[in-house]
Chains A and B, each alone.
Chain A
Amino acid sequence: MGAMLSVQDLVVNYGSIRAIKGISFEVNQGEIVTLIGANGAGKTTTLHAISGLVKTKSGSVSFCDHDLLSTEPHKILGLGMAHVPEGRRVFSRMTVMENLQMGAYIRNDASGISEDYDMVFERLPRLKERRKQAAGTLSGGEQQMLAIGRALMGRPKMLLLDEPSMGLSPLLVGEIFKIISDVNESGVTVLLVEQNAKKALEIADRAYVLETGKIVMSGDTLELADNEEVRKAYLGG
């Protein structure tokens, strides 16, 4: 079997500005792959292009042998790919429980859904305590957990995570990354976009380094973490 997600020569323009200048990468089943890079490198744009939230200029994206670029965004979750967007984006005036229900929006297997509530609450016990609370009143870390929990409710094969560590304290970042590893061990493939390269390289199997719309380096995380340039640019020396 080929790669689960395969991106080939992807180009994205914002008006006349070329944001993604032809990148190719792959994610195999069971892996955690991370895209790291500085602000404005095009990490979020890449994810948005994969999940159909921005129009692409050229290139191809295939997921489990489906052409994603010709799939409407709301149908992508049905194919097994869940996107946890940047900045958490929970439904803030809905309760935690209602947010999770929205995560299971495309499903109608009532018993499976209720099993998955238990699964999410077991994995993210803090959400269980706050089940009836409006999502907007949760702390940043809890909102990030909720966003991940909501994505898991769609029973995805693959999770796209956009900067899950954004705006969180180091302690919480650790907790969130632990959750991501656990989720991956339970069989969900992960594509992780991060500015926090150090943490991302710790949990990922492979990494791609993105710089102003191009992939400048790729490889095993262990190799990359030893690489002189990566250390200088992203790991603080």
Chain B
Amino acid sequence: MNRKKVTVYGVILVLILAIYAVVTGLTDAGVLNSYYSGILIMVCINIILATSLNLSTGFLGQLILGHAGFMSVGAYAAALFTLRAGLPDSIDFLVALLVGGLTAALFGLLIGIPALRLKGDYLAIITLGFGEIIRVIIINLDFTGGARGLRGIPKETNFSWVYLLAVLTVAIIFAFIHTRHGRAVISIREDEIAAEASGVNTTYYKLLAFIMSAFFAGIAGGLYAHHIGILNPSKFDFNYSVEILVMVVLGGMGSITGSVIAATVLTILPEALRDFSSYRMLAYSVVLICVMLFRPSGLLGQYEISLTRLFGKLSGSKGNKTTKNPASGGEKGA
């Protein structure tokens, strides 16, 4: 690793810590009330959902319409674990999240083996069906609380945990994509036959990406369950799957930074528009339509906001202040 890279990673780490310090500082000072911190927690959960869906939809190139299904599996598994297992409080929550993630991954494996033989529209329909089946099963089982939902889940999710896990998820998926394995996954999206001819075990990598995707969705579900405290199966319907997909498409399929930005914006936007009450969802839709009209491949397309590139530009064009647009603009790097 060269020195430039170390600097970049250092800066990223500092930024991550700074955001964390600002948010916790503001919460402690009472500026951010529980309404705002609730939104921030949902932002982090949606970031986990969007980046994990981006792995199978953006990088692997398989359209998945049942991501909320995996999330619900994780949410129920984690919640039931904390309610029933009775482990000591200190490790209870983390183990529950892991259980949620692993259960979702197992479902990913079971569904992935038959479903990944199909492509495109067919796979989308199958995953859509899966999401609906899971929801109906949960409604009709006793131990999940049925349609009444599952109550009394300890609210152990706090900003520190979701933030840490969101950062970890993004980091793990980013690192994975930049390995030889990640390139194999992308080559399948580009051309499956050519990937196979280059020696890529396409079945294995499709399944791997799909399972990873389901695992992180399960973790997000566990965090959600322990954030809200009540699980209602109707939350995890087709609409929520589509909402996550919209984040991925809006941010740019195949751009992790794009997913992070889109998940943040699309979680905050409906809340920020609350003042317009009944026009709220109209405005939300207009934003979506405009983005798709003017940037059909999403805000960032395939590009990542890269500090390395930003630094390169800054040192390359000193004195030219106009290019020094902070990365938060969203369109930077495209």
Contact residues of A with B, CB < 8 Å? 51, 53, 72-78, 82-85, 89-94, 98, 101-103, 105-106, 147, 150-151, 154
- Tell me the dominant secondary structure on chain B's binding face: helix
* Chain A neighbourhood of B198, CB < 8 A: 77, 102-103, 105-106, 150, 154
28 residue pairs A–B, Cβ–Cβ below 8 Å: A53-B196, A72-B201, A73-B196, A73-B197, A74-B199, A74-B200, A74-B201, A74-B202, A77-B198, A78-B199, A82-B197, A83-B197, A89-B193, A89-B194, A90-B191, A91-B186, A92-B190, A92-B191, A94-B190, A98-B183, A102-B195, A105-B187, A105-B198, A105-B199, A105-B200, A106-B198, A150-B198, A151-B197
Indicate the size class of the contact surface on chain B: 10 to 19
Chain A residues near B183 (CB-CB < 8 A): 94, 98, 101-102, 105
Q: Write the chain B residue with the least CB distance to A151.
A: B197
Within 8 Å CB of B180, what residues of A?
105
Residues of B within 8 A of A73 (CB): 196-197
Q: Which residues of B contact A151 (CB under 8 A)?
A: 197
* 19 additional A-B residue pairs with CB within 8 Å, beyond A105-B198, A105-B199, A150-B194: A53-B193, A72-B201, A73-B196, A73-B197, A75-B199, A76-B197, A77-B197, A77-B199, A85-B197, A93-B190, A98-B183, A101-B183, A102-B183, A102-B187, A103-B198, A105-B180, A105-B187, A106-B199, A154-B199
CA distance in complex: A63, B201 (Å): 20
Chain A residues within 8 Å of B302, by CB: 93
Most buried by A among B184, B191, B197, B201: B197
List chain A residues, Cβ under 8 A from B193: 53, 85, 89
Which residue of chain B has the shortest Cβ distance to A91 in the bound complex?
Answer: B190
B interface residues, Cβ below 8 angstroms from A:
180, 183-184, 186-187, 190-191, 193-202, 254, 302
Cα A98 to Cα B194 with chains together (Å): 13
Residue numbers in B under 8 Å from A78 (CB-CB): 199
* Chain B residues with CB below 8 A from A51, complex form: 197
Asked whether, in the complex, the Cβ of B187 is within 8 Å of the Cβ of A91, the reply is yes
Kindly state the separation between the CA atoms of A73 and B196 in the bound complex, as whole angstroms. 6
The smallest C-beta distance from B33 to any residue of chain A, in angstroms, reads 45
Q: Are B197's CB and A105's CB within 8 A?
A: no
Q: Residue of A at shortest CB range from B201?
A: A74
| Interface pairs A-B: 10 shortest CB-CB | A91-B190, A106-B199, A77-B199, A89-B194, A83-B197, A74-B201, A89-B191, A73-B196, A105-B198, A102-B198
- Residues of chain B contacted by A154 (CB below 8 angstroms): 198-199
For the complex, give the distance between the alpha carbons of A98 and B184 in Å.
Answer: 11
A101 to B197, CA, bound (A): 13
Find chain B residues with CB under 8 A from A72 CB.
201
Cβ contacts under 8 Å, B201 to chain A: 72, 74
**Cα A93 to Cα B58 with chains together (Å):** 12
Shortest C-beta distance, B111 to chain A (Å), equals 23
**Would you call B194 and A85 a contact (CB within 8 A)?**
yes
Residue of A nearest to B184 (CB): A105
Q: Which residues of B contact A94 (CB under 8 A)?
A: 183, 186-187, 190
